[in-house]
Amino acid sequence: HNQTSTNDSERSGTTGLQTAQKSLRHTSLHLLALVTGKGRYGEVWRGQWQGESVAVKIFSSRDEKSWFRETEIYNTVLLRHENILGFIASDMTSRNSSTQLWLITHFHEMGSLYDYLQLSMLDASACLRMALSIASGLAHLHVEIFGTQGKPAIAHRDLKSKNILVKKNGQCCIADLGLAVMHFQDTNELDVGNNPKVGTKRYMAPEVLDDSIQTDCFESYKRVDIWAFGLVLWEIARRTISNGIVEDYKPPFHDVVSSDPSFEDMKKVICIDQQRPNILNRWFSDPVSTSSYTFTNQVNQVIIFEEHYLTRSSGEQCIPSSKVKM
């Protein structure tokens, strides 16, 4: 597997016909090193393509729907944003009668935010830089832009620290659009795809766990993302030094569920026991957070975000889409 090129004779063809994909057929793509052990849904390699370092995600056949969805979204929507993982090409090849599904994107050597937080502590400004960059990426996904350079509104549905990559400049970008849903305001069409996969249980919002979520309404999916974003902020904040104190990395709800919680475990903790992540005392008394304008301003923005989420889920009505495409 060390030197695989995509222009071998066994290939069956490419999906979509973007320039990058066409040239991919004629230029060797070399896989250099496996980035991680085999994950639940496939593996990620660092590769070299046209002198550039690229990430090659090889999907397992049981997760082919995620590859199709991610490919569909990147191919139909112009998604260029510094806080969204940059797409290069999507490729389907046939080898020894099995199908290989590849997604080729920009490579970020610092790995996922989850990986990064295990080893690194942050100061207040690094924390803000990351938090704000994720918020910007999420805002860009969520908003519909009209016109020729436009895009539909997109909700991610599997936001978590493992699906966020850290860039060298200290900002982050959002990856893994295999579960995303799209909304088109002019026709009020909601495209939820047909991926049977659900989001990561640990990050599921209460309304997903108790099944009260209004699945025909796009707003619902945005709220689910905001819940997960709140948990990611909590993960980041624990690794941010204040008053000379910092916590070890822990995933959300580490103190109330096991390492691989079931749906029922999460439902009990979040919906029945109404557990929420601890807000640490040091976050209230930190001199930086109380004196610095930028920090207070950012914290306020996060609180506004949070209130937005809460008021919308309790009060405001959710208007169902007229057409729901499955």
Q: Which residues are catalytic?
A: 158
Binding segment for Mg ion (CB under 5 A), chosen from 91-99, 158-166, 184-192, 270-278, is 158-166
Sheet of strand 153-155: strand arrangement: 153-155, 181-184, 189-191, 323-325
Q: How far is the CB of 86 from ligand ATP (least distance, A)?
A: 9
Site membership for ligand ATP, residue 112 (CB under 6 A): yes
User: Which pair of structure tokens corresponds to residue 289?
Assistant: 């957070």
How far, rounded to the nearest angstrom, does the alpha carbon of residue 88 sit from its chain's CA centroid?
Answer: 17
- Closer by beta carbon to ligand ATP, 115 or else 216: 115
Helix (H, G, I), strand (E, B) or coil at 245: strand
CB 189 within 8 A of CB 320: no
Nearest alpha-carbon partner for 306 in 290, 314, 289: 314
Look up tokens 């690194």; give the residue.
Answer: 120
Give burial (CB, 10 Å; 0-12/13-18/19+) of 156.
buried
Q: Which two tokens stand for residue 214?
A: 């209004």
Instruction: Give the contacts of 1 (CB within 8 A, at least 6 positions apart).
Output: 31
Kindly state whether residue 176 participates in binding Mg ion, applying the rule CB under 5 A. Answer: yes
Using CB distances below 5 to 8 A depending on partner kind, what does residue 235 bind out of Mg ion, ligand ATP, none? Answer: none
Residue 35 in contact with ligand ATP, rule: CB under 6 A: yes
**69 lies in the binding site for ligand ATP (CB under 6 A):** no
> With respect to ligand ATP, which residue has the nearer C-beta, 158 or 286?
158
The residue among 321, 278, 69 whose CA lies nearest residue 189 is 321
Stretch that binds ligand ATP, among 5-13, 32-40, 184-192, 313-321 (CB under 6 A): 32-40
Question: Which of 88, 127, 89, 91 has its CA nearest to residue 106?
Answer: 88
Tokens of 83: 């806080």
Does 107 sit near ligand ATP (CB under 6 A)?
A: yes
Minimum CB distance to ligand ATP smaller for 111 or for 206: 111
Which CB, 179 or 299, lies closer to Mg ion?
Answer: 179
Contact call for residue 128 and ligand ATP (CB under 6 A): no
Contact partner at residue 165 from Mg ion, ligand ATP, none, CB < 5 to 8 Å by partner kind: ligand ATP
| Partner interacting with residue 35 (select from ligand ATP, Mg ion, none; CB below 5-8 Å by kind) | ligand ATP
Q: What is the four-CA torsion angle of 228, 278, 125, 164, rounded to 10 degrees?
A: -20
298 binds, among ligand ATP, Mg ion, none (CB under 5 to 8 A by kind): none
Q: What is the size of the binding site for ligand ATP (CB under 6 A)? A: 22
Among the residue ranges 45-53, 55-63, 175-183, 275-283, the one whose residues contact Mg ion (CB under 5 A): 175-183
Q: Of 89, 92, 141, 165, which one interacts with ligand ATP (CB under 6 A)?
A: 165
For ligand ATP, which is the closer residue by CB, 29 or 35?
35
Place of tokens 């909700």: 155
Q: Which does 136 bind (CB under 5 to 8 A by kind): Mg ion, ligand ATP, none?
A: none
Q: Would you give the end-to-end CA distance of the chain in angstroms?
A: 37
Q: Applying CB under 5 A, does 163 fall inside the site for Mg ion? A: yes
The window from 19-27, 160-168, 197-205, 318-326 that contacts Mg ion (CB under 5 A) reads 160-168
Q: How many CB atoms lie within 10 A of CB 182?
A: 24
Instruction: Establish if 207 lies at the interface with Mg ion (CB under 5 A).
Output: no
Q: Report if residue 239 touches ligand ATP, rule: CB under 6 A.
A: no
Q: Residue 102 contacts by C-beta under 8 Å, 6 or more apart in sequence?
A: 6, 56, 57, 58, 59, 90, 91, 92, 93
Cα separation, 231 vs 134, in Å, equals: 12
Q: Which residues bind ligand ATP (CB under 6 A)?
A: 35-36, 39-42, 44, 55, 57, 85, 105, 107-108, 111-112, 115, 162-163, 165, 175-176, 200
